[in-house]
């Protein structure tokens, strides 16, 4: 058991995965000597060598395309995309090849590739460094998508993603990278594709993942001060979504607000709202509401504080849901 | 509760269904028979999708790992290509068989002034970042000759597609340096009008702009104009598929575009050897157009070579690749720590090839400039730094509602709806909500 940041937890997960399986490779831009721009791969090349921790040419399609080939040859590549906005040169390889090859081979080949993407905003960055493209991947059959919100999940979810035989798009909440938490390496991890009730409550359920879990926990704390009991579900997994856990929560609280940074229009919240409405129609006291980004490009950093869903916007939706 | 009004249909719908607690699903016969597993086929439960858990075929790491090749595999210093050079690091004028230049003393002094002012502006931006006025800065330190030499080779009607580091080229195009700082301060994503100086917005996604330059050049050719287009990119960018595609398109369509690669030896922490086994300029040959490597710290050679390349393009001979061999003297950006991956000795070696010092030496030796001139340029650069400093500090934050501006040219109902909702939400605070 140790206190560590999400960066450190991810680093340990990579290290332990490489230790336990010689087929695990780490590849990406600047992952070697530099240790990645966020230092997630810090020290790995020194300890595992340039054959296993590979500084690639600056070409994302190349990174993912060769990871597919390496996987076909029995390796388990964990590739790093430097920032969310730079995954798109690789989008073709991910969608047309990585996602579909297992099915096309009638199950004969497996593609255990993990694509790590530091995602979402809040760090005052320039354009293309704050995007939330998760729905674009969750929409694609053949890919699994997950997003940890804390160090313990970061560690275990990455280990599980690497150990699994399906391609996983692993969304890392970059603005929480330096948040600390307990990691129990000898514990029994929760299933990768299960949600977790992060805080129990009775009046309304807030569902979130990655960077927004913290905001929702703070909102629940603030609401408690006003005599409202909010339950917070950390979804953890976006494809598949653990609707059972969510359904159980909503059947109890009868109200649901889904929170994410990504634009609301056709975002993951839209799918969750539709499914939960279907599953819990007779339990709901209010429509499922969504809080998220707008149908506009991610703004310049001086506006991001107002753009990003914060405590006020979450609580405003809570008010609206409770007023129905 | 102002927002309840936005969902009247929901309210009525919920009222309508309230009280109903069962739902009837008519039994329908299955139209497709459920396939049963055949003999010998595993009967899998949904929890066990089957398949191997060993990660695929059994291959040992030894049998497939390729040992890192000795430096002998790549062109060694012995067959290292000759750089086009017209001014040695010591400031001595030399001749080149193919590329020559004849500049007046005034023109030479102009190039010196451009480089000094650009460097000063760049240094000011770096310190503004340190002071928290900018979120980030990508310094061009060391690349002044590559940028001023190529920038001054351009005609007014030529068009430039920069990366995010072309502050010197922007200077040559007459873009106000303050304009460049908006995106680094975080008040916009570029914001200047590309057409007012024929200088496109900075492009952060590596390599993309080489295709835009190619398409623009295809348009120039279609129009029958004799303008040329120049696309800047880095050594790292040379690996991107977009760049290879730009080479292909420009060659196939004989587009009047010059690909100007500043090989500053590093792509963040990766040295150029991680991108290419051949000198980058040699890539052009495989696509069917000429490539040349120029001393990127020699402003005269860069000017001469870029002029020739632009002339090649505008006279209908198609694209050309110029590799300016230079060095990124600063970290990648203000967020980077370059001590983690490169040695001080390398910096010291390149310091001796400084582009400004060598032109200063030449100007002095040739008697083209005296102390008064150098002092005047220094004073002017102080003025520029002051103007930039004050200008940045006064740069206003954008209005919150700017989030919704210019998303579409012809408008969009969803943007309008969200803008109105957000305005109402913000107003609810003003009213003491
Ligand atoms: C498609 C894409 N991938 C990754 C990045 C992150 N990134 C920004 S600059 C850079 C290195 C660029 O190197 P180079 O092309 O040599 O240009 P330089 O910065 O040296 O001028 C990287 C990897 C990016 N901006 N775009
Ligand atoms: Mg470079």
Q: Do A83 and A163 have their domain in common?
A: yes
Residues in A touching B341 (Cβ below 8 Å): 33-34
CA of A76 to the centre of ligand 2 (A): 30
Q: Do A179 and A64 have their domain in common?
A: yes
CA of A194 to the centre of ligand 1 (A): 37
Q: What are the tens digits of pLDDT across the range A36-90? A: 999 999 999 999 999 999 999 999 999 999 999 999 999 999 999 999 999 999 9
Q: Do A227 and A316 have their domain in common?
A: yes
Q: List the one residue out of B189, B140, B196, B185 whose CA is nearest residue B165.
A: B140
DSSP state of A98: I
> Residue A189: inside a domain, yes or no?
no
C-alpha span between A26 and B146 (Å, rounded): 35
| Least Cα separation, residue A34 to chain B (angstroms) | 6
Q: Do A129 and A6 have their domain in common?
A: yes
Q: What are the tens digits of pLDDT across the range B130-180? A: 999 999 999 999 999 999 999 999 999 999 999 999 999 999 999 999 999
Whether residues A74 and B204 touch (CB distance < 8 A) is answered with no
CA of B164 to the centre of ligand 1 (A): 9
Residues in B touching A88 (Cβ below 8 Å): 205
Any idea where the domains of chain B sit in the sequence? Answer: 105-393, 399-428
Q: Do A32 and A53 contact (CB within 8 A), yes or no?
A: yes
Q: Is A86 in the pocket of ligand 1 (CB under 6 A)?
A: yes
Residues in A touching B183 (Cβ below 8 Å): 126-127, 300
Q: Do B342 and B266 contact (CB within 8 A), yes or no?
A: yes
For residue B262, give the ligand 1 atom closest to its CA: 21
**Of A156, A183, A210, which marks where a domain is finished?**
A183
* Domain at A253, CATH number: 3.40.50.920
Q: What are the tens digits of pLDDT across the range B324-339? A: 999 999 999 999 999 9
Q: List the one residue out of B150, B163, B123 whose CA is nearest residue B267.
A: B163
C-alpha span between B363 and A138 (Å, rounded): 62
**Structural domain harbouring A226:** 196-323
For residue B240, give the ligand 1 atom closest to its CA: 1
C-alpha span between A112 and A67 (Å, rounded): 9
Number of domains observed in the structure of chain A = 2
Q: List the one residue out of B10, B1, B4, B3 whose CA is nearest residue B423.
A: B3
Secondary structure of residue A27 in the 3-state scheme: strand
Q: What is the pLDDT of residue B431?
A: 62
Q: Do A48 and A157 have their domain in common?
A: yes
> Residue A190: inside a domain, yes or no?
no
Triad A103, A106, A110: Cα angle to 5°: 65
Q: Do A169 and A294 have their domain in common?
A: no
Residues of A forming the active site: 129
Q: Is B165 in the pocket of ligand 1 (CB under 6 A)?
A: yes
B60, pLDDT greater than 90: no
DSSP state of B317: I
Q: What are the tens digits of pLDDT across the range B81-122? A: 789 999 999 999 999 999 999 999 999 999 999 999 999 999
How close are the terminal C-alpha atoms of chain B, in Å? 9
Q: Do A167 and A86 have their domain in common?
A: yes
Triad B30, B35, B41: Cα angle to 5°: 165
Reported ipTM: 0.96
Catalytic residue flag (residue B328): yes
* Domain B105-393: which CATH number of 3.40.50.970, 3.40.50.720, 3.40.50.2000, 3.40.50.150: 3.40.50.970
Tokens standing for residue B113: 């002034």
How many Cβ pairs closer than 8 A exist between chain A and B?
172
Query: Which residue has the least CA distance to atom 20 on ligand 1?
Result: B267
**Cβ–Cβ contact B233 with A under 8 A:** no
Q: What is the pLDDT of residue B115?
A: 98
Neighbours of B50 (CB within 10 A): 11
Which of B17, B186, B418 is closest, CB to CB, to A301? B186
Residues in B touching A265 (Cβ below 8 Å): 414
Asked whether the bond before B199 is cis by omega within 30 degrees of 0, the reply is no
Report the Cα B7 to chain-centroid distance in Å: 45
Whether residues B55 and A74 touch (CB distance < 8 A) is answered with yes
**Cβ–Cβ contact B56 with A under 8 A:** yes
SS (H, E, C) B73-86: HCCCHHHCCCCECC
DSSP state of B134: S
Q: List the one residue out of B144, B90, B111 whose CA is nearest residue B369.
A: B111
Q: Do B265 and B337 contact (CB within 8 A), yes or no?
A: no
Tokens standing for residue B320: 């050309």
């Amino acid at each position: 058991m140790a206190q560590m940041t999400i960066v450190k937890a991810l680093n340990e997960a990579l290290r332990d995965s490489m230790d336990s399986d010689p087929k695990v490779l780490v590849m990406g831009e600047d992952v070697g000597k530099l240790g990645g721009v966020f230092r997630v791969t810090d020290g790995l090349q020194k300890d595992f060598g340039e054959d296993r921790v590979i500084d690639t040419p600056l070409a994302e399609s190349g990174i993912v395309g060769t990871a597919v080939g390496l996987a076909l040859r029995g390796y388990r590549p964990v590739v790093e995309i430097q920032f969310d906005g730079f995954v798109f040169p690789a989008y073709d390889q991910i969608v047309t090849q990585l996602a579909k090859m297992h099915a096309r081979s009638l199950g004969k080949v497996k593609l255990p590739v993990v694509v790590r993407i530091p995602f979402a905003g809040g760090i005052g960055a320039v354009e293309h460094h704050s995007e939330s493209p998760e729905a674009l991947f969750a929409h694609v059959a053949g890919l699994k998508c997950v997003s940890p919100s804390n160090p313990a999940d970061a560690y275990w979810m990455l280990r599980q993603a690497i150990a699994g035989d399906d391609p996983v798009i692993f969304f890392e909440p970059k603005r929480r990278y330096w948040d600390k938490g307990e990691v129990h390496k000898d514990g029994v991890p929760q299933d990768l594709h299960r949600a977790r009730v992060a805080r129990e409550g009775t009046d309304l359920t807030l569902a979130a993942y990655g960077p927004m879990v913290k905001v929702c926990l703070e909102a629940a704390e603030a609401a408690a001060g006003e005599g409202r009991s909010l339950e917070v579900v950390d979804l953890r997994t976006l494809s598949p979504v653990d609707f059972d856990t969510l359904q159980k929560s909503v059947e109890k609280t009868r109200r649901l607000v889904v929170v994410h940074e990504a634009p609301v229009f056709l975002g993951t919240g839209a799918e969750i709202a539709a499914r939960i409405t279907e599953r819990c129609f007779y339990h709901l006291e209010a429509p499922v509401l969504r809080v998220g980004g707008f149908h506009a490009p991610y703004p310049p950093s001086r506006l991001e504080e107002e753009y990003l869903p914060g405590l006020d916007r979450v609580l405003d939706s809570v008010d609206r849901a409770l007023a129905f | 509760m102002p927002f309840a009004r936005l969902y009247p249909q929901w309210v009525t719908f919920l009222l309508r269904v309230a009280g109903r607690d069962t739902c009837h699903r008519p039994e329908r016969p299955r139209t497709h028979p459920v396939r049963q597993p055949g003999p010998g086929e595993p009967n899998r439960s949904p929890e066990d999708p089957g398949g191997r858990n060993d990660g695929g075929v059994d291959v040992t790491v030894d049998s497939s790992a390729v040992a890192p090749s000795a430096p002998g595999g790549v062109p060694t210093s012995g067959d290292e290509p000759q750089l086009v050079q017209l001014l040695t690091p010591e400031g001595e004028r030399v001749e080149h068989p193919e590329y020559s230049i004849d500049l007046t003393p005034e023109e030479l002094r102009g190039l010196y002034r451009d480089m000094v002012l650009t460097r000063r502006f760049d240094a000011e931006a770096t310190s503004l970042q340190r002071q928290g006025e900018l979120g980030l800065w990508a310094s061009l330190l060391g690349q002044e000759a590559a940028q001023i030499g190529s920038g001054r080779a351009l005609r007014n009607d030529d068009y430039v597609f920069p990366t995010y580091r072309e502050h010197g080229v922007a200077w040559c195009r007459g873009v106000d340096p303050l304009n460049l700082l908006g995106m680094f301060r975080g008040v916009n994503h570029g914001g200047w009008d590309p057409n007012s100086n024929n200088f496109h917005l900075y492009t952060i996604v590596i390599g993309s702009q080489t295709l835009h330059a190619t398409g623009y050049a295809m348009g120039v050719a279609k129009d029958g104009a004799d303008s040329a287009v120049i696309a800047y990119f880095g050594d790292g960018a040379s690996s991107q598929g977009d760049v290879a595609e730009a080479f292909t398109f420009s060659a196939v369509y004989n587009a009047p575009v010059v690909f100007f690669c500043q090989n500053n030896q590093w792509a963040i922490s990766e040295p150029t050897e991680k991108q290419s086994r051949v000198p980058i300029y040699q890539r052009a040959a495989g696509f069917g157009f000429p490539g040349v490597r120029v001393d990127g710290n020699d402003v005269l050679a860069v000017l001469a070579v870029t002029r020739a390349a632009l002339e090649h393009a505008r006279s209908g001979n198609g694209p050309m690749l110029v590799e300016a061999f230079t060095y990124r003297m600063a970290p990648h950006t203000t967020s980077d720590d370059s001590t983690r991956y490169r040695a001080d000795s390398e910096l010291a070696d390149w310091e001796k090839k400084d582009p400004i010092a060598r032109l200063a030496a030449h100007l002095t030796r040739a008697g083209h400039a005296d102390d008064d001139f150098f002092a005047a340029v220094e004073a002017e650069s102080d003025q520029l730094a002051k103007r930039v400093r004050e200008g940045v500090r006064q740069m206003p934050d954008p209005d919150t509602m700017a989030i919704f501006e210019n998303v579409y040219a012809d408008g969009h109902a969803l943007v309008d709806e969200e803008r109105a909702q957000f305005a109402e939400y913000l107003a609810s605070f003003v009213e003491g909500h």
